Amino acid sequence: MNDPQSPRDRYAARARELHVSSAEGLGPERVLGAAGDLLRRSAALGVDHGAVDAALLALSPEAVAAWSVALPERVSHAHFERAAHAAAAVALAESPEERAPALHAALDALRALDGLASVAVALARRVELGAEDDPALHQALVQQLDGLDRAAAARARWLVGLNDHRRKERDLLDPGPRERAFWYSARAGCDGLLAALAGEPAQGGAWDTHLRGCAACAADLAATRLVDAPPTPHLTEAELLRFELGELSPRERARVERHADACFDCGQAVWALADGERAIVESASPDHAAH
């Protein structure tokens, strides 16, 4: 289940895809994704911009428009949720056998999310090259990613268990894309956070030094001390049931959400409730019933 291919090798393969894209008839999704991947990593990979531009211009506006219809609404949020779920499973795994599939799922979800950012860059480059695309295609995807930034960037601490892998991806990105790709860059140096949140013994000088210079980690630990103050260390079944039924007062609900955001076990429980609700809604939808 481990990925045997380094990020650099994977992007080199993307460059080869573009050189043969016309012969193989690759669709817009793969061409746009590969082109954006390379444009966002041009310095580290020594990208042939002429080949990238040629591949982008080989796509017709009609083909790009037809492909965009199939782009699921708010798909980027689903990618982040899957990555966060899987990253929590990585952190909680009790054996290599449990950890491997969770790590595989987490990295796949992060790559899918990053791929959307690459598509947005590729669409913007097509506009710069004079392609007659509908500007709304690029604008809609950018707005989607901006919305994700606002909703999820503050929760990047859920991904710190993947930091070794995230740093390898982060370090290949050009400075501008690196700053925007919070899924790879945000909290990528907060390696000791999970152990500290779990209440493990002091980790030594390196963590102490990091904590003194990292306001985000200090705030996370302070919030944990506040939300773990109730009589029980975790949310009770009664609290979870009332949360699911919407019976909590605004103040109680806020406390539950703060605790679930800082506590992996309770976060998993709250996420499971949310997944159950989504499954019920989807099963009742006309599209699902048609199948």
pLDDT in tens, 51-80: 999 999 999 899 888 888 766 555 667 788
Hey, where are the domains in the chain? Answer: 1-189
CB 41 within 8 A of CB 117: no
Res 142: pLDDT: 80
Q: What is the pLDDT of residue 201?
A: 63
What is the pLDDT at residue 282?
52
One DSSP character per residue, the chain reads ----S-HHHHHHHHHHHHHTHHHHT--HHHHHHHHHHHHTTHHHHT--HHHHHHHHHTS-HHHHHHHHTTS-TTHHHHHHHHHHHHHHHHHH-SSHHHHHHHHHHHHHHHHHHHHHHHHHHHHHHHHHTT----HHHHHHHHHHHHHHHHHHGGGGGGGGGGHHHHHHHHTTS-HHHHHH-HHHHTTTT-TTHHHHHTTPPP--HHHHHHHHH-HHHHHHHHHHHHHT-SSSSS--HHHHHHHHHT-S-HHHHHHHHHHHHH-HHHHHHHHHHHHHHHHHHHHHSHHHHH-
10 Å Cβ neighbour count for 1?
A: 11
CA distance 238 to 240: 5
pLDDT value, residue 202: 60
State which residues of the chain have pLDDT below 70.
1-4, 20-25, 70-76, 151, 201-203, 225-233, 274-291
